[in-house]
């Protein structure tokens, strides 16, 4: 079972939600719609009670330490600064920084 504080391989629905946010033409937060992430019933209740901004923060937190490598196609879409690794964790940390603006 995936533990966000320890990292490792994250569930596909979390990674897919991040990719949907990256791909969105309306912005990352706007892509955080009600039916985007359902890991289990407890998470679904929590997710639907959150604002889009809170969902974006939660999702990037869930993937913060994820060591799975992101496809180069997706990674290049972000135009990350040199030195960033292409893991979902590093991309999540980059996106979280952008959400603070």
The number of distinct structural domains making up the chain is: 1
Indicate the burial class of 32 (C-beta count within 10 angstroms; 0-12, 13-18, 19 or more).
buried
Helices (H), the chain: 12-23, 41-49, 52-62, 72-77, 88-99
pLDDT at 45: 83
CA 44 – CA 94 distance, rounded (Å): 25
Domain encompassing residue 35: 12-99
Domain presence at residue 21: yes
Tens-digit pLDDT string for the chain (101 aa): 778 888 788 888 889 889 988 888 788 888 888 777 665 677 788 888 999 999 999 999 999 999 999 887 777 777 776 666 789 998 999 899 888 75
Domain presence at residue 1: no
Domain presence at residue 2: no
pLDDT at 39: 59
Tell me the whole-structure pTM to 2 decimals: 0.84
Domain presence at residue 50: yes
Domain presence at residue 78: yes
Of 17, 33, 1, the residue nearest 95 (C-alpha) = 17
């Amino acid at each position: 079972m995936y533990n966000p504080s320890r990292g490792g391989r994250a569930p596909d629905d979390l990674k897919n939600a991040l990719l949907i946010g990256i791909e969105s033409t309306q912005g990352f937060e706007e892509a955080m719609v009600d039916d985007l992430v359902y890991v289990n019933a407890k998470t679904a209740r929590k997710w639907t009670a959150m604002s889009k901004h809170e969902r974006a923060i939660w999702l990037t937190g869930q993937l913060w330490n994820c060591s799975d490598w992101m496809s180069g196609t997706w990674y290049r879409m972000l135009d990350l600064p040199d030195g960033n690794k292409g893991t979902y964790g590093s991309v999540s940390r980059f996106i979280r920084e952008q959400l603070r603006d």
